Structure 1
Amino acid sequence: MSSPQPDTVQSDSSRVLDRNRNFLPSHRPLRHHPVLRIDHDRVSGPFSFLNPTRAHFRPVRESIQGAETGSKVSEPPAVTYKWTSRNNRKGRHALAVESVGPTPETKHVIPAKTISPRQIALGLWKMVSKYPVWDISYDVATIFTFGSVIWVINAFFVWLPLVRPDTEFKNEELYGGGITAFIGATIFEIGSFLLMAEAVNENRTGCFGWALERAFSEDRETGSQVVRICPSKSTCTHHHSNKRNFVGKGNAGRSSPASTADEDGKSWIWFPSKTEIQTHYIHELGFLASFTQLIAATIFWISGFTALPGIYDKMSRPITIIFYWTPQVIGGTGFMISGALFMLETQSKWYKPAFKTLGWWIGAWNLLGGVGFTVCPAFGYDQSSWAQYQACLSTFWGSWAFLVGSVIQWYESLAKYPVEAVEAHEKVRNEIADDK
């Protein structure tokens, strides 16, 4: 027998355990961008058996040298490109500005931080002034928002008569509640399908989306030039930016070798192959969350269908339990799981909440909405008046939770170039100290 076999098995086992610290070669982001260098110490994910959900890239020193003048161009070591699986899926390009002291070597001009009041106001203005219907992430967000509004209306139809009986009209719950439940469930199903399509059409090669430009001014004392970092929408390779069609490549899809959405030339797929599922997507948190959402919405749709007038009022008690209340329990539980997975995708550790990340709050509100939609049928099995009151009330606050999460997702879908302030990584601090 050959002795190396145990070592080989151990090596393979170690590689599996470290899956969240390494990218598959075919899915390593920004591998075609020579101006960026991945920081291997900052590739991570919340679970060791799943793919990485975040990575940091830094500009290469030689990539921003002043070729024409021969002058020294200062590299911004405190500015990194923050790749996350959620941002990549949503067509977003995040810059992380690390809080290090200003030095002559770190002169750079960057856009305003996203959390500034002016940028927040600008983001809110975009929600009422921009309608990029060619962007699937925008469509997902607005469809879920519209669906949540329908569910809020539904909750008023079924809950308000219990609180204010004088406001009830004839067959309000049967027609108002039943029809809006069917419409709301159908809209959630459509949104979940698009969410799934978004998940399987991630930009595998990655998209930097920023330009490093030499400013015209020059520091007379050091002879170095300032580097200006600005969005580069014209070179974005995400399919979200393609205004010509709903699905396809980015603006630079036919001109840049780094822009192909897939290594085999496909620009859009509706469902991945069996091999891709086994080797990549089954380990991808965003895919698992989206797939769970789709399954949950599909099962939940059954209760929306059986809520229609002419069906709901014709069903016996056992049939109502099986085809009306039970699909809500299963679907609502799926919404909870999906929301939790979306939260975990944004976290650096499974136990460490990401309170400063929009995606985390979107998942949290969807999780809360799922709780409401699960508690509703749990009370609904009981025919007593107090239980029916709690069932309708759970739909009410659960619908509002979904609405809040959807509106935040709408805001996120339009913020394609977020800039955040983070605490400097220890490695960056040491490099800056060595450069002084």
Structure 2
Amino acid sequence: MQSTTGAATGSLKRSEVFHPAHEPLRHDPALNLQQDRISGPLPFLNPTKAQFRYESRPDVRFKWSSRNNRKGRHAIVVGQDQANASSNQLTTPHVTSSLNDILRGVWRMLTYYPIWDISFDVAYVFTIGSVIWVINAFFVWLPLVQPDSEFRNEELYGGGITAFVGATVFEFGSLLLMAEAVNENKSGCFGWALEQALSHKGGDDETGDRKLEPSKLQCTHHHLNKRNLVGKGIRHVSKEESASEARSWVWWPSTTNLKTHYVYDLGFLASFFQLCGATVFWISGLTALPGIYNRMSRPITIIFYWTPQVIGGLGFIISGTLFMLETQSKWWKPAPRTLGWWIGVWNLIGGIGFTICPAFGYDTSSWSQYQACLSTFWGSWAFLIGSVVQWYECLEKFPVEVGSTDKDSAIAEDGT
């Protein structure tokens, strides 16, 4: 990969320049990093977005993002003129944001289950956990709305058992989320290759008569490798890359990597707060079990049942907020055209619901208990929506969007 780093690099903010050891695609000579397209929402944290010129196809840009890299996705941008021109239909990648493509993505969710892909496992586990929490919310809230629907010990057994199972599933999903974060592809991956188009006549790459196609065989992400959950991709990294980048997988980053890279990485921080929140929240799931919950005194209930929910919910709020920020070009600028942003939004809403629930729960009045149960209800649905969107996102590994690819104009910051 070619790049030009001027003498002014030292004056740049941390979010505007990559550390030499963590610059993506630095070993790919076909991609030219655009230094003025490196960005992040917070100046004191690592970059979360970058753009590359693909020398063989000047009409195409590769959009690297920390979230896409973590999820094994390879987003590119094609020019509006190239996307619309009928003469380029054989050589220009098909835009994936149309209604038909969305429906194909939904169908893929129903028919394709790549359990070897940790990003799929994260989304699927959180979807299952969210469904369990929705069921839990019906057990504890519905009797307050429709008292005649209540059966004996519904809240104690139905609510208590589903709370424990749901909290356990969330804990497992958070562990997978953390494993995904610390096993990111440190070298980056383009994931596309030029293929001969059927309409080829002259054989000149510069004329754009060779089509850019997804190339799973050239992908170094571990998501496509059926032989491991995290670690090595189908194609191994080049010999130029360090041994630390070629290792199969890690439980936890080294102290050096933690201090110099991960503590400044928004995706890692979001995953870490999610894991911390889920771990503390699990305590309330345990104490919700029949035989424990109904034998606790009021002070013990406050300490070991309600308070862990407050702390855990705050962890979910922080995590959702950080996941939102990771997809934004500026900390104050929403990115509604990005799937990852909506995932963060719904997780944030879910975290708010799970935090408000115990806040009301401290009060024993009937109105407060009603609001506590209602907060669990809509919070669970928010988590479910976010998990389903994440499920859709993780299966679209090669998104293509339309944008500006002129040399002197900026590509839209938000998208994919």
Aligned equivalent of 1:355, options 336, 342, 367: 336
| CA offsets 1:259-294 (integer angstroms, 9 cap, x no match) | x69645312111001111100000000000000000
Q: Is the 8 A contact 1:77 1:428 kept in 2?
A: no
Residue of structure 1 equivalent to 2:312: 331
Please give the residue correspondences for 1:164-313 in structure 2 after superposition, counting only pairs within 5 Å.
164-218=146-200, 224=207, 226-253=209-236, 256-257=238-239, 263=244, 265-313=246-294
- What is the CA distance between 1:212 and its match in structure 2? 1.9
Aligned equivalent of 2:113, options 122, 131, 150: 131
Q: 1:292 to 1:102 in 2, by over 3 A?
A: closer
Q: Is the 8 A contact 1:46 1:348 kept in 2?
A: yes
Aligned equivalent of 1:42, options 28, 37, 56: 37
Any gaps of 5 or more consecutive residues in structure 1? 1-10, 65-75, 431-436
1:115 paired with 2:97, answer yes
Cα distance between partner residues in 1 of 2:410 and 2:173 = 44
Residue of structure 1 equivalent to 2:3: none
Cα distance between partner residues in 1 of 2:172 and 2:11 = 35
Residue of structure 2 equivalent to 1:317: 298
Task: Return the letter of the residue paired with 1:81.
Answer: F
Cα distance between partner residues in 2 of 1:88 and 1:262 = 19
Any gaps of 5 or more consecutive residues in structure 2? 1-6, 412-416
Residue of structure 2 equivalent to 1:433: none
Q: 1:83 to 1:188 in 2, by over 3 A?
A: same
Q: Percent of aligned pairs with the same residue?
A: 64
Cα distance between partner residues in 2 of 1:172 and 1:301 = 21
More deviation in 317-326 or 112-121? Answer: 112-121
Cα distance between partner residues in 2 of 1:16 and 1:343 = 27
| CA offsets 1:355-411 (integer angstroms, 9 cap, x no match) | 000000000000000010001001000000010000000000000000000000000
Whose Rg is larger?
Answer: 1
Cα distance between partner residues in 1 of 2:403 and 2:195 = 23
Q: 1:393 to 1:262 in 2, by over 3 A?
A: farther
Q: Is the 8 A contact 2:186 2:245 kept in 1?
A: no
| CA offsets 1:93-125 (integer angstroms, 9 cap, x no match) | 001123357899x95723321211111111111
Cα distance between partner residues in 2 of 1:17 and 1:384 = 55
Cα distance between partner residues in 2 of 1:374 and 1:128 = 32
Q: Is the 8 A contact 1:38 1:58 kept in 2?
A: yes
Task: Return the letter of the residue paired with 2:104.
Answer: L
1:393 paired with 2:374, answer yes
1:54 paired with 2:49, answer yes
Q: Is the 8 A contact 1:78 1:428 kept in 2?
A: no
Residue of structure 2 equivalent to 1:73: none
Cα distance between partner residues in 2 of 1:86 and 1:115 = 19
Q: Is the 8 A contact 2:232 2:246 kept in 1?
A: no
- What is the CA distance between 1:218 and its match in structure 2? 4.9
Cα distance between partner residues in 1 of 2:410 and 2:270 = 36
- SS of the counterpart of 1:37? strand
Q: 1:102 to 1:122 in 2, by over 3 A?
A: closer
Superposition TM-score, scaled by structure 2 size: 0.91
Q: Is the 8 A contact 2:178 2:271 kept in 1?
A: yes
Cα distance between partner residues in 1 of 2:178 and 2:165 = 20
Q: Is the 8 A contact 2:200 2:210 kept in 1?
A: no
- What is the CA distance between 1:219 and its match in structure 2? 6.6
| CA offsets 1:106-155 (integer angstroms, 9 cap, x no match) | 95723321211111111111111111000000000000000000000000
- SS of the counterpart of 2:97? coil
Aligned equivalent of 2:24, options 6, 29, 34: 29
